[in-house]
Chain A
Amino acid sequence: MNNPERLREITDNVLYGLTADESLKNRIIQKASVKQEKDSRPFFLPVPALCGIVALLVLTMGVLNNLRPVDPASSVEMKVFSAGSVDISPAPDSFFSDILPDLNYENVLSVELTECGVVNDPEECAELIAALQECETSSDVVSEDSGRQLIIHCSNGTVYRFSVNEPYLVGDQCWICDSFFTLFHRFSDD
């Protein structure tokens, strides 16, 4: 009876009552309509908001100018730009979420991989951050810097920048993030 060859037949019995019905279909059509409406909405920034963004940019640039700039050719350390620089020296065998627990799904506006693309969709950004938080440190030695960066813009004005050498994020520790990069390429290809 328990032969995998019979999985189709067995599933038809065991999951007989689990079917995609009309109510699910209606939910799908409704959600697709809402998504299309949202996607087709013209880009519009109210003037006050625009002024706020300009002011924020000016302030942020002021902070960034006081920081050591990223030199892609020599950078083998991970840098975080926010209201100040943060030194990150994680313990070996740690998860990415251990070093940046505040980087959460809600406040990410966009995730950019230089020379590859930008992901702006909130749901996709949330998935990317979830994948990123799962990255683990690796004992692999990644000496060659590709010059590429991962840039994460947050709604509070914080911008995180990381040196990238796929499938690694390169810092004082090296994080292996192949699932994150696979996901990013899928989203940016869609």
Chain B
Amino acid sequence: MSLQPEQMDRPSGSLSFDQMYDLYATDVLRVSYYYLGNREMAEDVTQDVFVKLLTNQPALEEGREKAWLLKVALNRCRDLWRSAWIKKVVLGHPGFECFPAPDEIGQIADQYSLSAAVNRLKPEFKEVVLLFYYQGFSVTEIADMLQIAEGTVSSRLSRAREKLQNELKGDDKQ
């Protein structure tokens, strides 16, 4: 048995699976990669998120599709992060790699330090930084996605900025 065409056309809301994949899959993949620091696992998370979209057929409000996808992705990342396996395998060998465009290889060194510093943040700080600065969600939207108070989002953002600043200062000195 395979998925029926109508399921592929409109898994939820007004966007088709293809449209949602084309629009958001790379963002889901990159956010997961930032979180886990491992390409294979980030791809697995992206796969799980879109499989869930296809099989569960959630009723998504128009314009809230991306928020749902990232929420599911972050939940999955958090679960993986907690598991003993990733603590041993990934935390034991941290390393945020770059995948630059061929003509930009020489120019990304200073950009790498910020990306790697974000990757090294603790999960609760990393989540808000990625959603706010990378994905452009508002504090209210993030609070709704992560099921935490807006004040908590704001304070985590503030502390995350502080941590990034301190860490990047350290990088500059080296």
Contact = CB atoms under 8 A, between A and B. Distances in A.
Interface of A: 1-8, 10-11, 13-20, 24-25, 27-29, 31-33, 35-37, 39-40, 97, 127, 130-131, 133-134, 179, 183, 186, 190
A17 B21 contact: no
A131 B129 CA distance: 25
B1 A133 contact: no
Interface residues of B, number: 52
A2 B2 CA distance: 47
B136 interface: yes
A4 B99 contact: no
B100 A13 contact: yes
Contact of A7 (B8, B55, B113, B114): B114
Interface of B: 1-3, 8, 21, 25-26, 28-30, 33-34, 39, 42-43, 46-47, 50-51, 54-56, 75, 79, 82-84, 98-101, 104, 107-108, 110-115, 117-118, 129-130, 133-136, 160-161, 164, 168
A29 B25 contact: no
Chain B interface SS verdict (over half): helix
Contact of A15 (B8, B50, B56, B98): B98
Nearest to B171: A2
A31 B24 CA distance: 19
Given A11-B134, A31-B51, A2 B100 contact: no
Chain A interface SS verdict (over half): helix
A16 B136 CA distance: 18
B133 A8 contact: yes
28 contacts: A1-B111, A2-B110, A2-B113, A2-B168, A4-B129, A4-B160, A7-B130, A8-B136, A14-B98, A14-B108, A15-B30, A15-B115, A16-B100, A18-B26, A18-B42, A19-B26, A20-B26, A20-B28, A24-B29, A25-B25, A28-B51, A29-B54, A32-B3, A33-B2, A131-B79, A133-B84, A134-B82, A183-B79
